[in-house]
Chain A
Amino acid sequence: DQQVKQNSPSLSVQEGRISILNCDYTNSMFDYFLWYKKYPAEGPTFLISISSIKDKNEDGRFTVFLNKSAKHLSLHIVPSQPGDSAVYFCAPRGGAGSYQLTFGKGTKLSVIP
């Protein structure tokens, strides 16, 4: 039973265009939603997060949108750059006092120069 689904295993985008990565979840107890970026042969690195009480958080080229009623969030990257090519994981936190992140399977983004 997957609590976190990233239904697109891969995504290709032209450099300079927008990349949109999606994540759906089922657990209404999740209170924070984190995005991690992972390059091959490296550990994941934190990218951006959003609290469940907000619907948008922006950090430079990266914006995360949260639609709680639909249990859906998305990560927008504008403009996309070749260095953004990586696997992106959606990782919600299990609720106040929870130490656990639940990772989706990831979406591999390829930004084509």
Chain B
Amino acid sequence: NAGVTQTPKFRVLKTGQSMTLLCAQDMNHEYMYWYRQDPGMGLRLIHYSVGEGTTAKGEVPDGYNVSRLKKQNFLLGLESAAPSQTSVYFCASSYSTSGGGNEQFFGPGTRLTVL
């Protein structure tokens, strides 16, 4: 099992460029999440998905779009990158939240720099 994988690991963009971050999980999890982490901050939720074909906004969704066309994949898009989007992006997945503590499994992260 690879768990949660993220592509790419690093990326440098110029202001105004677009890109897509890919997250894949092989644990058959229903739920998937995109977070960003900035220096000295905790992780903040950007968007999440509770199943194939569904997405919802998290705490900091502005400037991002997401798609969940397949259960195992969750894509995060930046249509017009801004320097404020320089961050480390983490994808996570989990089983249902019914019972238990909603343990989320995280990918290794994508370090994005916007110049």
Chain A residues, CB < 8 A from B40: 9, 105
Select the stretch in B62-70, B78-86, B96-104 that faces chain A.
B96-104
Contact B50 A99 (CB under 8 A): yes
B61 interfacial by beta-carbon distance below 8 Å = no
Q: Which of B31, B43, B48, B102 contacts A93 (CB 8 A)?
A: B102
CA distance A104 to B94 in the complex (A): 20
Residues on A with beta carbons closer than 8 Å to the beta carbon of B100: 32
Query: Which residues of chain A have C-beta atoms less than 8 A from B22's C-beta?
Result: none
Q: Are B42 and A89 in contact (CB under 8 A)?
A: yes
B42 touches A99 (CB 8 A): no
A99 touches B102 (CB 8 A): yes
Interface size of A by CB at 8 A reads 29
Whether the Cβ atoms of B43 and A103 lie closer than 8 Å is: yes
* CB of B114 to closest CB in A, whole Å: 20
* Segment at the B interface, from A12-20, A36-44, A66-74, A76-84: A36-44
Pick the 5 closest A-B CB pairs, nearest first: A43-B106, A103-B42, A49-B101, A32-B101, A103-B43
Q: What are 8 contact pairs spanning A and B, CB under 8 A?
A: A9-B40, A34-B101, A41-B109, A51-B101, A93-B101, A99-B102, A101-B43, A102-B42
Residues on B facing A (Cβ under 8 Å): 4, 31, 33, 35, 40-45, 48, 50, 58-59, 90, 92, 94, 97, 100-109
